[in-house]
Structure formats: structure tokens, C-alpha cells
Amino acid sequence: MIIAKKAIHRRALLRGTGAALTLPFLDAMTPALSAPVARPIRLGFIETPNGIWMDNWTPKTEGADFALTPSLEPLADFRDRMLVLTGLDQHQAAALGFEIGGDHPRACAAWLTGAHCKMTSGADLRAGISVDQVAAREFGKYTQLASLEVGLDPPDVVGACESAYSCAYYNTVSWRNETTPLPMENRPRAVFERMFGAGGTDAKTRLALRREDRSILDAVTDDVKRLRGRLGGSDRGKIDQYLDAVRDIERRIQLAEAQDNRDLPKLEGPAGAPPVFSEYYRLMTDLMVLAWQTDMTRVSTFQVGHEMGGRAYPETGFGDAHHSVTHHSGDKEKIEKVKQIDKFLTTQLAYYLEKLRSTPDGDGSLLDHAMVMYGSSISDGNLHLYTNLPVLLFAGGVAGIQGGRHVRYARGTPMNNLFLTMLDKANVPHVESLGDSTGRLDLPSI
């Protein structure tokens, strides 16, 4: 494609009456004869609640030739990107001598911070800054949103939820600083409008479009036509894919809102959320993909569910709540249900990774330019262990990281050592320590 003297600005918008959409990265944003633009590295953190059945999770052998365990089988297509990391602990989740209960909230608060939270059910919360927010301080200099925090449960942050621990401690895993937990947004419409409702979009016009069952894209049709006339075939394909994704997400949000207005039996979940868990999960991860595709943000944190929550997954074939079956006390039937839930959740993760892999980004895909960590803040949900946590890192090919490995670290290695390495690989400068870190973690290199 030959580009004239002027390239399209990287912050160009599609504009219409009361509407504005950020564009994804296009070839036409690189001036003719200039060097290819290096794409930024994105960071994603995904926490699943209530622990993992580790016997079904941990490979038996180390190195490159490990056999995929049943819980990891859904991720087979991403094996070359995946690192299975074992032996990492969050020591600060442990109870101090005077503390009673609180295993779940302490583990959640420590998961991305490596900090011990204060036992309180009041407003005097205290933990530590989380790794996602350390990255957001740097990346937020270049993006409209410093970070995006989403979840699938209501973001209650007041009152006591376990022993004398505030609900805030386990209803989020993201902390802006020692005293400020960030709520996880669970409303798809709110996430959508946070991304596309800024930068010139008029709230009254957006509301009118919604009432008329029209898309925000209808307001920018003329600008789309003008833009497509300036682009080559590759860029037109990228624009079409992006606009199709925006329209599809709008349609799914509208459908969920319409279902919510029907006379239906009471369903667990927020207003406007799809009643089927996998549909809800995929809608929220699709929004996260759009946020990265448009460089709206480079940091996303996703809390799949609350610790001790009552959520069940009927798609697995049974209706037992996740938390209740993790307290199995050796009951084989409950253990089998935990295994099925673990595999069901990694199947949903595979959908998100495939979406990243199929979304163009510069000379590759979003997955080519991202590090995504997945795991739980406790390992054994029955015993509430915070040692040898389940950790997956999808980063093969990024910043010289070698994927397709199972790496076992020495017992007692702080998980925050991994976070320091991730920040280094993502070019976040001047982070000497985080929480209880003791140094950097060695990752396999190409």
C-alpha cells in the first residue's frame, strides 16, 4: 500500500453526531518509508476463585516435554505460548497470631500485591499497590484509560464478608495504593460506555441511540466511508473486523438487557448481564480485547468470581456452588466436580486467548504482544493454602520469553518475583521491589 505524505494519526477517531470511536492500529498510521512501529506490550491478570484441584493441574514432569494435565487440556492450542509455573507462594496471605479466619480475603488482597491486609471491616483498609497498578502508572501516560478492571460479580466494597474482614478485600484483586481498592466493573454496558463514551461522545445521543435500538456505529457511518476510501486492502480488513466486533458486542449487550427486562425467574448476576455464564465471560473478555485493540488501555485485570461466592456453573451438568464443592473433606464426588469446574474455566480462558490471537496488531496479533497471567489466589480450596499457587503465564515469544515449558521453582519463592520480571519485560522502568519480593524470577528465554 502506498501512503501519501500524511499518515493517519495514531489517536484518530471515527466521529459522528455525538459519537466518537477510537481506531485500532493501522498500517496507514505509519508514514511511508519509515521503520515499522513497535507495538506496546500489554499485561493481563485473570483470577479464578476458590482454588484449583492441583493434582489435575500440575504436570508430572518439568521442561518442554510435559504432558498436559486434564485441567490444562483446553489450552493445548496455546501450549507454545504457555508457561506452567509451580512453587510460587504469596506468604503475606498467611494469618498472623491474633487473626481469626479470613483466609479468602487475605489471599485475594495478597494475590497481586504481596502485602498483608489489615484485619478490619471498616473504612481503614490497608494492603498494598498491586502489580497491575504499578504498570498502569507507566502505561497510563500513553492511553486514555490507565487500566481496566472487570469482574463477573457485584463490586461490593462495604461491610464484613468473612470474620472481621471487609468485603473489599476479596471483591477485588486490584489496589491503586495501600488504602485504595479498585472495584471490578461487572456491567457490560458500563464497560462499553467507559471505553466508547469518552473522547467526544455525547451522553444524551448515546441514550437516544440505545432507545432506538441503534448502534453507536450508525452515528459514524459517513466518517467510516471517508476513512475506508483512504485505506489499502489490509487496513480495510482490520477496520471491518473491528467494527464487526463493536457491533457484535453492542448486540449482545442489548440482548442481555432485553432478557433482563422480561418476566423471568430471579437470576444471579447484575442487570444487563447474560444469564449463561460462558456468554457473560466471553462478552466481558471481548470488551477487554477491544480495549487493547484500540490501545484504550494496556493493562486489564479480570476477577472471574468472588471467593466464597455462591456461583454455580450449570453448564458443567450440576448446580453445586463452586465454593461449597471445594470444601470436599475428601468426598470423591465433590472432588470430581471441582475438577470439572477447573476444566470448564480453562475452556473459557482458551476462548479469550483465541480472540487475542485472531485480532491483528501491527506485524502480529494482540497475543503476540501480551503477557497474560492466569491463576487463583489459593491452591488447595479445602485447606486454604497460599503456597505453590496455580500460575499460568502466556507470554511465549514476548520479550525473549520461551513458552511451552513447565518450570518448578524452589519452595517458598515469592510470586512477586515473577511480577518484577513481567514489569521488566513490559518495559516498566524503575521498579526495584514490590510487596515481599526478594529479586527477579528467571524465565526460560529463547
pLDDT at residue 173 is higher than 70 = yes
Tell me if 244 is assigned to some domain: yes
Please count the CA atoms within 13 angstroms of the CA of 73 that sit on its side-chain side. 9
Q: Are residues 300 and 372 in the same domain?
A: yes
Question: Which helix (H) or strand (E) is 245 found in, with range?
Answer: helix 233-261
Tell me if 357 is assigned to some domain: yes
- Is pLDDT larger for residue 197 or for residue 303? 303
The string of pLDDT tens digits covering residues 334-355 is 999 999 999 999 999 999 999 9
Rounded to an integer, the average pLDDT of 131-149 is 95
Rounded to an integer, the average pLDDT of 224-249 is 75
Q: How far apart are CA 417 and CA 407, in angstroms?
A: 14
pLDDT number for residue 413? 98
Q: Are residues 225 and 261 in the same domain?
A: yes
Q: Are residues 123 and 202 in the same domain?
A: no
Please check whether residue 85 is in contact with residue 407, taking contact to mean a CB–CB distance below 8 angstroms: yes
Please check whether residue 390 is in contact with residue 363, taking contact to mean a CB–CB distance below 8 angstroms: no
Tell me if 289 is assigned to some domain: no
Q: Are residues 91 and 9 in the same domain?
A: no
Tell me if 179 is assigned to some domain: yes
Q: Are residues 55 and 181 in the same domain?
A: yes
Instruction: State which residues form the domain around 16.
Output: 1-38+197-272
pLDDT at residue 13 is higher than 60 = no
Q: Are residues 82 and 159 in the same domain?
A: yes
Q: How far apart are CA 63 and CA 275, in angstroms?
A: 41
**Rounded to 5 degrees, what are φ and ψ at 302?**
-130, 115
* Number of structural domains in the chain: 2
Q: Are residues 57 and 6 in the same domain?
A: no
Q: Are residues 28 and 65 in the same domain?
A: no
Residue 34: left (phi > 0), alpha (psi -120 to 50), or beta? Answer: beta
Tell me if 18 is assigned to some domain: yes
Q: Are residues 172 and 54 in the same domain?
A: yes
Q: Residue 116 maps to which CATH number?
A: 3.40.720
Tell me if 439 is assigned to some domain: no
pLDDT number for residue 237? 78
Amino acid in position 47: E
- Which range has the worst mean pLDDT, 15-24, 66-75, 172-181, 197-206? 197-206
Any residues with CB less than 8 A from the CB of 47 and at least 6 apart, and which? 108, 111, 173, 301, 302, 303, 304, 375, 376, 377
pLDDT band, residue 263 (cuts 50/70/90) = very low
Q: Are residues 147 and 98 in the same domain?
A: yes
The string of pLDDT tens digits covering residues 87-122 is 999 999 999 988 888 999 999 999 999 999 999 988
Tell me the three cell numbers of residue 434: 514490590
Q: Are residues 231 and 362 in the same domain?
A: no
Q: Are residues 341 and 317 in the same domain?
A: yes
**Rounded to 5 degrees, what are φ and ψ at 212?**
-85, 5
Tell me if 280 is assigned to some domain: no
pLDDT number for residue 122? 86
The string of pLDDT tens digits covering residues 272-325 is 689 999 999 999 999 999 999 989 999 999 999 998 888 999 999 999 999 999
Tell me if 446 is assigned to some domain: no
